[in-house]
Amino acid sequence: MPDCKNKRRGDVMLEFTLVGIPLIFILISVVEMARGMWTYHTLAHAVKEGTRYAIVHGYNCSLAPNNCQVTVAQIAQRVREAGVGLMPNELRIELRSEGDTVLCSTLDNCLTNNNFWPVYPNSQIGQRVTINGTYPFRSAIAMFWPGAGGGMNFGTFLLPASSTETIQF
């Protein structure tokens, strides 16, 4: 009996090692994939909302009696409001019309940019505007990568999203 009992010592540890590690890996992977998709969907929604906002505030907004021109800051604010959970100091967006581009290295930088956008002649009805956004996604899966190192030095993915629409007003 003592022999038999001693032989079973370590079984649980071995089983846990064989089953637990892949299980934890799968668990973290699923969670991280879901988190990544969540972040991506939010980013895509945010740039879409920003673009939708810009296309109904085109050149005609600048003509009296209309008074509805919008600034880079207002569009950036729209993106911020739609991007719930996205950190403005990590979100990078690019406002692109057919003739000019405004680059926000972070959304924060554009929240104080009071230049009108898009500007004539790129603000005419029928012109296209595009908002590109990128957001860093640091995944815990990266810790399984060889050479990932210890601590929280995980790899970073840049999630991209883009929305293009035609100016309506």
Partner 1 sequence: MRHRKNRKRGQILVMVTLALFMMAGIMGLAVDLGWSYFTKKSAQTAADAAALAAAEAAFAAESDEDANSTYDCGTEVACVPLSQCPSPIPNPPTNNIEVGCLYAKQNGFQVQPGGRQNVTMNSGNTPNPPTVPGVTVYYWATARVAEGIPQLFSSMLGNTLNLASARATGAIIDSTIAGSLILLNRERDCVPMNLGSQPICGVDLLVQANNNQGMDAVRADGGVLMASVLNGTNDPSGEGNYSGENQGGGLVRAPFTFIRGDGTVSLGGSSQWIQSPTNGFSDRSYFRDPMRGKGSPPPPAPGLQDIPIMGGALMGSNDPNNPTIYSPGNYYAVKQVGGTLVPTGDPLTMSGYLKFQADSDGFGDWVFFGGLRNQSAGTVMTVDPGRYVIAGVRSNGNNVTPGFDIQVNMSITDNGPPNAAPAPSNAGEIFIFTDPTYLGGPAGDIPLTIPVALQNSPVLNDLKFGISGFQTGNNADIQVNIHGLNRDSGALPAELKDFTPVVMWQDQQNSVIQYTPRGYIDNSCGNLDPQQGCANSALDNAASTEMFFKASPSLHIYGTVYQPRGAFTSMIGAGGYDSPLMIIAGALMVHANSNVRLQELDSPLYVKMVALVE
* Binding stretches for partner 1 (CB under 8 A): 5, 8, 12, 15-16, 19-20, 23, 27, 30-31, 34-35, 37-38, 41-42, 44-45, 48, 52, 55-56, 59-61, 63, 65-68, 98-99, 120-121, 124-126, 168-169
Q: Please report how close the Cβ of residue 48 comes to partner 1 at its closest, in angstroms.
A: 7
Closest to partner 1 by CB, 8 vs 114, is: 8
Closest to partner 1 by CB, 84 vs 152, is: 84
Q: Please report how close the Cβ of residue 112 comes to partner 1 at its closest, in angstroms.
A: 22
Angle at 112 between CA 110 and CA 118, to 5 degrees: 60
Q: What is the largest CA-CA distance in the chain?
A: 97
Backbone angles phi, psi at 7, to 5 degrees: -65, -25
Q: Please report how close the Cβ of residue 70 comes to partner 1 at its closest, in angstroms.
A: 10
3-state SS, residue 161 = strand
Closest to partner 1 by CB, 106 vs 124, is: 124
3-state SS, residue 52 = helix
Closest to partner 1 by CB, 83 vs 88, is: 83
3-state SS, residue 7 = helix
* Cis-peptide into 160, omega within 30 deg: no
